Structure 1
Amino acid sequence: MAGHSIPHFQNDAGHSAIEIGVKEFMCVGANPPFDHPHVFLDMGDESEKVCPYCSTLYRYDPALKAGDTVPAGCLYEARAA
């Protein structure tokens, strides 16, 4: 995956599942300061992956772009200091 960044996703709203457009990503849990360790997840050949920290179920949807989520608003973007 050299040459591009890994998207990070958060689940402040406590959704049971989030659809995303990538199979390799980072889960941060909730937004800081309530986040968990930022863990790299890879779905491999599967279309779903559960975060071992927050139990969010991520589902791959090939129709979505890398930063898109369903429900909307789950892409994590670090704020500049």
Structure 2
Amino acid sequence: MSANTATQAPAVVEVTAKDLQGPGVVFCPNPKMTLWSNHPKVYVDLSHEGEGKCPYCGTVYRLKAGEKIAHGH
């Protein structure tokens, strides 16, 4: 299989509760991504499964083991 036909696995970014931008939400692209790979900012919801995927670049955001999402009202 050549490099052109190989599929690359999506990046997985583990986040902590303090990385969340709201109740169970992170945004993509994240600040660590390189400028050339930027796409429109989207919010990825982690509150249901503890994991979410960016619809643009496929990056998977996952809450680190043991981290809890604060549900304040």
TM-score normalised by the chain length of structure 2: 0.53
Q: Does 2:56 correspond to 1:61?
A: no
> Secondary structure in 2 aligned to 1:54?
coil
Residue 38 of structure 2 corresponds to residue 38 of structure 1: no
Q: What amino acid maps onto 2:49 in structure 1?
A: E
Segments of 5+ residues of structure 2 without an aligned counterpart are: 1-8, 17-22, 68-73
Q: What CA deviation, in whole Å up to 9, does each residue of 1:29-76 have, x standing for no partner?
A: 643243000111111221110110000111101656xxxxxxxxxxxx
Native 8 Å contact 1:25 1:42 kept in 2: yes
Question: Of the two, which has the highest radius of gyration?
Answer: 2
Q: Distance in 2 between matches of 1:59 and 1:32?
A: 22
Listed as ranges, the gaps of 5+ residues in structure 1 are 1-13, 65-81
3-state DSSP of counterpart to 1:44: coil
| Aligned residue in 1 for 2:12 | 17
Task: Give the letter aligned to residue 26 of structure 1.
Answer: F
Runs of 4+ in structure 1 deviating by more than 4 angstroms, as ranges, are none
- How much is the aligned-residue C-alpha RMSD, in angstroms? 2.7
| Residues 62 and 24 (structure 1), Cα distance of their counterparts in 2 relative to 1, 3 Å cut | farther
